[in-house]
Structure 1
Amino acid sequence: MRILFLDLDSVSPHHLGCYGYHRNTSPNIDKIAEKGVRFSNYYTSDAPCAPSRTALMSGQFGIRNGLVGHGGTAAEMKLEGRNRGISGRLSNGGALPAFLQLGAGLKTTLISPFPQRHGTHNFYAGFNEIINTGKFGMESAEHVSPVVHDWLDRNAQENDWFLYINYWDAHTPYRAPESYGNPFADVPLPEWANEETLERHKKAVGPHTVHELNIDHQRLTYTNEQDEKYPRSPGEIRDMKEMRAMIDGYDCGIRYVDDHIGELFALLEEKGILDETIIIITADHGENMGQLGIYGEHGTADDGTCHIPMIISWPGMKQGIVADGLYYHLDFPVTLADMLELPPSPDWDGKSYASILKAGMECGRDYLVFSQCAHVTQRSVRFDDWLYIRTYHDGYHLFDREMLFNLKDDPREENNVADKYKEVCMKATYYLNNWHDEMMWKSGDDVDPLWTVIKEGGPFHAKGFLKNYGERLIQTGREQQFQELKRRHPGELPEETDEAGAKFTTAMMKNIF
């Protein structure tokens, strides 16, 4: 048995041809979808990068494994405590690669810098072989592919392996080489990307909105500055030319990865094993490209961020079908155990969807709950046609506390109808509370790591930013928005020292800060 697992960082299903995108971004991925099973409503339980991959590999929701953020206590998995054995739960089959190594006898190999990038060394648990491509996730595909080809030259003919590969080009900053050109220069933008949408999004505030597409972590502020090394990633979107640059940059990243995937498939075919190899194509999260007014980031618990592609081509199983049910990415380890006729780890939270692969029988869930605690703190419920988002810390975006979107009528999340459909919000809250109670009972803990993030000052990618961002908002004529942010986050600024203490001006900002 050979299993090839392609983790394409930040690739959204909304930008893949096999999911209906009008641009030819993914011809090689599309071919695999034609002969496999494509999941149309597949979501990460926890976003973004580190929480998502930790949930996948541990088989547990972030609320249980503890890793929900990118900094602070909640950027680490919970300690196992006094019952930990000599090698720990993950190494004993609780982690997906350890399960495949010990239970299925597979050689497990990781080609990725991800654990070093985020300090998530638990991700290594169970891999026989670890190849760090060495650029902290700033690799381009031309750095990754030679390592992959070399490994396959040495191991392709072996019968039992699991090869996990990360490609990064769809992650900001979009880095396809300039020599690659722009295959989409003359291809129309998506219909939603128009002047009306842009003008509406210019009213949004916060990181990765059209006025500030980048974060400067050294200066603790959001910025419109563009890095000259990455011309495909603009610093702001002021007009349709820059809108095109943003979308083209992302789509070029996906197409560039797809080209390298095509070369990988050609190599497998040359070695005579393509049709015998189980191929999984997925991502850690998607990419907001205008959803909630955010561009080029995966910073919310919405459809743009948490909806991910999942394509499985399994020789001898169903071909060319679409699974429309609701599924989590952490359902994959349990499904794999089912397909291999092995007992799953008792610690996993997933539910098998092997019946889809074997017989085309839907077995999705009634609802999903997914979380984001690195850029904002949100939990969301996905059920029927609805997406309900509850915001605990808005990451300085001025999001409503409750948001409700009908994804069938409003797939771009432009119209919050929470006030109009209170009964739907109540149903979503009921689902959320039920899920929360179940997870807290299963964790055996009285601490929800989402509240750890709040307690420690808020999500990592927003913590400490409001002071400098307030200065920028005032300097760019958006004082009213700053005043509202200041009202919502009263404990996140130094105390005011002016006697009036009611209204900020640029001069006051200099005195106070």
Structure 2
Amino acid sequence: MRFLLVDIDSLRPDRLGCYGYTRDTAPTIDAIAEEGVRFDRCHVSDSPCLPSRTALATCRVGAKTGVVTHYGSGQWYDEPGEGHQQDPERPLSFRHLMEHGIRTVTVTGFAQRHLAHHFTAGFQEHIQPTPLAGLVAQEDGADVTAAATRWLDANASDDDWLLHVNYWDVHHPYLGITPYVDDVRDSGPPAAWPDQDAIDAQQGGTGIRTADLWPVPGNIDDEGISALREEWPFPERIADRTDATHLIDGYDAAIRRVDDEVATLLATLDAHGVRDETCIIVTGDHGEAFGEHGIYAEHAFPDPACQRVPLVVSWPGLTDAAAGTGVDDLCYQFDLLATICDASDVPIPAGWDAEPFTAALRGEPDGGRDSLVCGHGIYTFGRAVYRDQWVYIRLLHPGVFSMPGQYNDPALPEGGLELLHDLDADPHMTENLVTAQPEVTAELRTELDRWTAEVLSSVDAAGEDPLARMAVESGPFLYVDPEELAEYYAANGRTEQQRAIVDRARRYPPGAGD
């Protein structure tokens, strides 16, 4: 079997037509969904980029691999082996496929950008798109496509390969999008939320890329960052719908640009006569907030805006009976690798956390998972539990973020560092129901405690939670300095309350309220 796995950084599913979006951002991806199966509640087990792709490459959650963030001790993969021998029950996922006869290839600069050499260790071939691939803004989608099509021109007609192609362009700052902006604008209205009422309610919160005083301290005067923003300049703050729509337009146009690259990949398969014999998969490493929890154009919080990802699978001969359908079952993104194994007669290693959803691809009842626990490790440290219509969020460290009503509430456990949202009634998570739904909160709190204890007890290294360790060691401050943020607020007329929140971030220990 042949597999083309398209991995698009920062791609929200609800900005695709196949997931119900009003704009024509991704006609190619939508066409793939019409031929295959769309998973509506797929989440990454860990977010954002490095934890997510590590989970995909290992089929194990970050609390077990040690990779829960982008830096410090939380970025290093804990190889579950000895000396030169990996644990046969916990092999790297793509390497496991390779060892069972599937040639695995990746086109990406990701491993260099995040120093994630365990990721490329699973591939028989690792192709850097350009000599500078992996450096911010150096990995253009056209270069990625060119490298991928060169490989396909030489190998497409061979049997049994998996080509992973990683696009970064949907990630801010939205480069090369000018030719696509008018097309997406003309195709339909932008996302209707956040509306002006939501934007007004977000004024006064603290944190980078929030509605009030949006720029990132340390990057505000950085000439390199400023140069990247010249094509699609970010506003100084999100004060109204015009500001929010500007960001949405840039993001949507970036999706349309990458969709054109995907079309080129499919045309190459067609040219070699293997398109109808190739399984096409489209997914992403995380989403992007556009107002959820007060955050804009960033992946900074353990919630569905960041952790829910698209998963579209068109598998000739397997998805035929279910073509064009959606699956509402909960699944982890790394369940995809167990499914590829299951449908390819490759044994699923006992030490993986991944479970196959092969039945769902055939249009048969599958049931999915009863619940998911998903960790997050940049800007904030925390975990979310997804069950039924609920998401329960526990922050181990809130970073510099404060949205009205979220923190410093003595009526809430741990000073307000728990959140509960009903995603059916409140999909944008504007109301915290921790006190209004005490029974649901207690159930999901217990579920997270049980999950954490079970996962950590299965780890050889003394059962230490790497996310909690990072909260104590350094806090989630790789991309923001609280001192600089405090100075920035003081220089721009922020209130004492906002500066106090920043001061709290500097000294905040995990699990403690004010």
TM-score, length-scaled by structure 2: 0.89
Which digits, 9 at most, give the CA deviation of each residue in 1:174-209, with x for residues without a partner? Answer: 113434443233442222233222212223220111
Residue aligning to 1:242: 243
Which digits, 9 at most, give the CA deviation of each residue in 1:454-490, with x for residues without a partner? Answer: 1212014366x11111111122222233344156336
Residue aligning to 2:194: 193
Residue aligning to 1:511: none
The count of residues paired between Structure 1 and Structure 2 equals 486
Kindly indicate whether the alpha-carbon contact (under 8 Å) linking 1:175 and 1:232 is maintained by their aligned counterparts in 2.
no
Question: Secondary structure of the residue that 1:326 maps to in structure 2?
Answer: strand
Q: How does 1:205-244 map to 2 (within 5 A)?
A: 205-217=206-218, 227-231=228-232, 233-244=234-245
Q: 1:326 to 1:181 in 2, by over 3 A?
A: closer
Q: CA deviation at 1:337?
A: 1.4
Q: CA deviation at 1:433?
A: 1.3
Residue aligning to 2:433: 417
Residue aligning to 2:329: 325
Partner letter of residue 184 of structure 1?
V
Q: CA deviation at 1:227?
A: 4.6
Q: 1:292 to 1:225 in 2, by over 3 A?
A: farther
Q: In 2, distance between residues paired with 1:232 and 1:467?
A: 25
Q: How does 1:330-345 map to 2 (within 5 A)?
A: 330-345=334-349
Residue aligning to 2:133: 135
Question: Secondary structure of the residue that 2:458 maps to in structure 1?
Answer: helix
Residue aligning to 1:98: 95
Q: CA deviation at 1:217?
A: 4.7
Kindly indicate whether the alpha-carbon contact (under 8 Å) linking 1:170 and 1:250 is maintained by their aligned counterparts in 2.
yes
Question: Secondary structure of the residue that 1:477 maps to in structure 2?
Answer: coil
Aligned partner (choices 480, 488, 493) of residue 504 of structure 2: 488
Q: CA deviation at 1:310?
A: 0.4
Q: CA deviation at 1:215?
A: 2.9
Which digits, 9 at most, give the CA deviation of each residue in 1:431-452, with x for residues without a partner? Answer: 1012112211221332110112
- Unaligned runs of at least 5 residues, structure 2: 408-416, 510-514
304-313 vs 411-420, greater mean Cα deviation: 411-420
Q: CA deviation at 1:168?
A: 1.2
Q: Does 1:353 align with 2:357?
A: yes
Residue aligning to 2:370: 366
Q: Does 1:53 align with 2:53?
A: yes
Q: In 2, distance between residues paired with 1:389 and 1:112?
A: 32
Aligned partner (choices 386, 390, 399) of residue 386 of structure 1: 390
Kindly indicate whether the alpha-carbon contact (under 8 Å) linking 1:6 and 1:166 is maintained by their aligned counterparts in 2.
yes
Q: CA deviation at 1:54?
A: 0.2
Q: 1:218 to 1:11 in 2, by over 3 A?
A: closer
Q: In 1, distance between residues paired with 2:218 and 2:502?
A: 20
Q: CA deviation at 1:161?
A: 0.9
Identity %: 34
Q: In 1, distance between residues paired with 2:10 and 2:389?
A: 24
42-51 vs 70-79, greater mean Cα deviation: 70-79
Q: 1:431 to 1:169 in 2, by over 3 A?
A: same
Q: In 2, distance between residues paired with 1:220 and 1:74?
A: 29
Kindly indicate whether the alpha-carbon contact (under 8 Å) linking 1:214 and 1:225 is maintained by their aligned counterparts in 2.
no
187-196 vs 448-457, greater mean Cα deviation: 187-196
Q: In 2, distance between residues paired with 1:492 and 1:381?
A: 23
Residue aligning to 1:282: 283
Residue aligning to 1:454: 471
Q: In 1, distance between residues paired with 2:384 and 2:181?
A: 38
Question: Secondary structure of the residue that 2:256 maps to in structure 1?
Answer: helix
Aligned partner (choices 89, 101, 106) of residue 110 of structure 1: 106
Residue aligning to 2:69: 69
184-193 vs 49-58, greater mean Cα deviation: 184-193
- Unaligned runs of at least 5 residues, structure 1: 494-513
Residue aligning to 1:497: none
240-249 vs 288-297, greater mean Cα deviation: 240-249
Residue aligning to 2:178: 178
Question: Secondary structure of the residue that 2:310 maps to in structure 1?
Answer: strand
Question: Secondary structure of the residue that 2:440 maps to in structure 1?
Answer: helix
Q: CA deviation at 1:212?
A: 4.2
Q: CA deviation at 1:218?
A: 6.5
Kindly indicate whether the alpha-carbon contact (under 8 Å) linking 2:33 and 2:314 is maintained by their aligned counterparts in 1.
yes
Question: Secondary structure of the residue that 1:182 maps to in structure 2?
Answer: helix
Question: Secondary structure of the residue that 1:489 maps to in structure 2?
Answer: helix
Q: In 1, distance between residues paired with 2:470 and 2:221?
A: 18
Q: CA deviation at 1:492?
A: 7.0
Residue aligning to 2:414: none
Partner letter of residue 408 of structure 1?
D
Kindly indicate whether the alpha-carbon contact (under 8 Å) linking 2:43 and 2:308 is maintained by their aligned counterparts in 1.
yes
